[in-house]
Amino acid sequence: MKWNKFRLKTTTEAEDIVSSMLMDLGIQGIEIEDKIPLTQSDKEQMFVDILPEIDVDDGVAYISFYLEEEDDKEKILADVKAELEEMRSYVNVGVCEIEESQTEDVDWVNNWKQYFHQFYVDDVLIIPSWEEVKPEDEDKMIIHIDPGTAFGTGMHETTQLCIRQIRKYVTPQTEILDVGCGSGILGMLALKFGAAHSVGTDLDPCAIDATHENMEVNGINREQYEVMIGNIIDDKTVQDRVGYEKYDIVAANILADVLVPLTPVILNQLKQGGIYITSGIIEEKETVVVEAVKAAGLEVLEINHQGEWVSVTARKN
């Protein structure tokens, strides 16, 4: 299916009100391009520590919207232009040029699957749900993963660092908490490595759904792995539900800027002698995380690197 794409040139000052106007006219789904710097809150929601360089904000914003071929394009465009002219009396909407083009309908949710194929992390085979296990791999440790829209295929260096550390410290008695569980890969692998029970938390509802689906594919029941949504850093309800001083391992594969406030909180969930495994740390932030771990009273046991990423493992003494 083809869509008519319209790219409207306006100003950053007006982008919010113009976006609202488009939605009031029944246009669903817009894209905004601008050079406004990201806020700290924006950065904390992105799984990157090094952000791409962007030019200085020039006050220009582009808002793109799409119409189906059967839509009354002429009427909708006339309504948009009339609203923009009315706005000029109280906000700088800029030149309001509208470029038109055509684009093919794309299945954005599933198109990425062409790039995700089975692979090994050491001797563990991680395989997407849409691929078959080869006969020569049937005796391997296998985990089936379909992350959906959640983070965590196991391909990222940060996840692999966590996998190796969990495997190193897990025992048959291990209770493990994974903060920011994403697809559930760490909690499920902990169980395959022999852990007794896993708990996962995440801010994204998609992560809970993805984890439950992956558990089913891997034959893991909900008594073995409990997942919940919420922010353990500042949500007392989540902290209470997760429990206190009950985990032999806490894993957190998150941004360094989140690990810093998380670390003193997570002490309450760790048992005495419990292991704290962190990852998601770009090399430039290694010292920041190590200092936060030490400031919380934890003993640093290991610092491991893979590519430009770092994992810090510590113990609560």
User: How many residues does this entry show for the chain?
Assistant: 317
Short-list 118, 146, 27, 12, CA closest to 79: 27
Q: Tell me: the pLDDT tens digits for 155-173? A: 788 899 999 999 999 999 9
Instruction: Kindly report the average pLDDT of the chain as a whole number.
Output: 88
Higher pLDDT, 285 or 2: 285
- Lowest mean pLDDT, pick from 143-152, 248-257, 270-279: 143-152
Residue 139 has pLDDT above 60, yes or no: yes
Task: Find tokens 């020039």 and name the residue.
Answer: 58
Q: Round to whole Å and give the CA distance between 188 and 124.
A: 12
Q: What is the CB-side half-sphere exposure of residue 112 using CA atoms within 13 A?
A: 10
In contact, 22 and 67? CB cutoff 8 Å: no
pLDDT value of residue 49: 42
- Lowest mean pLDDT, pick from 29-38, 145-154, 238-247, 287-296: 145-154
The three-state (H, E, C) secondary structure of the chain, written as one string: CEEEEEEEEEECCCHHHHHHHHHHCCCCCEEEECCCCCCHHHHHCCCCCCCCCCCCCCCEEEEEEEEECCCCHHHHHHHHHHHHHHHCCCCCCCCCCEEEEEEECCCHHHHHHHHCCCEEECCEEEEECCCCCCHHHCCCEEEEECCCCCCCCCCCHHHHHHHHHHHHHCCCCCEEEEECCCCCHHHHHHHHCCCCEEEEEECCHHHHHHHHHHHHHCCCCCCCEEEEECCCCCCHHHHHHHCCCCEEEEEEECCHHHHHHHHHHHCCCEEEEEEEEEEEEEHHHHHHHHHHHHHCCCEEEEEEEECCEEEEEEECC
Query: By percentage, how much of the chain surpasses pLDDT 70?
Result: 88
Sorting pLDDT into bands at 50, 70 and 90, what band is 181? very high
Q: How far is CA 15 from CA 71, 82, 96, 142, in A?
A: 24, 16, 11, 48
Could you tell me whether strands 175-179 and 197-202 are parallel, antiparallel, or unpaired per DSSP bridges? Answer: parallel
Q: How far is CA 315 from CA 15, 107, 226, 278, in A?
A: 49, 45, 24, 11
Q: Tell me: the pLDDT tens digits for 43-97? A: 544 444 444 556 677 899 999 998 887 888 899 999 999 999 999 999 999 999 9
- Say how many C-beta atoms besides its own lie within 10 A of residue 65's C-beta: 22
Residue 2 has pLDDT above 80, yes or no: no
- Say how many C-beta atoms besides its own lie within 10 A of residue 49's C-beta: 18
Mean pLDDT of 128-136: 85
Q: What is the CB-side half-sphere exposure of residue 188 using CA atoms within 13 A?
A: 31
Could you tell me whether strands 2-11 and 299-306 are parallel, antiparallel, or unpaired per DSSP bridges? Answer: unpaired
Sorting pLDDT into bands at 50, 70 and 90, what band is 274? very high
Higher pLDDT, 235 or 105: 235
Q: Tell me: the pLDDT tens digits for 23-56? A: 888 887 788 988 877 665 555 444 444 445 566 7
Residue 107 has pLDDT above 80, yes or no: no
Residue 104 has pLDDT above 90, yes or no: no
C-alpha R_g of the chain: 24
In contact, 242 and 269? CB cutoff 8 Å: yes
- Say how many C-beta atoms besides its own lie within 10 A of residue 83's C-beta: 16
In contact, 54 and 37? CB cutoff 8 Å: yes
Mean pLDDT of 4-9: 92
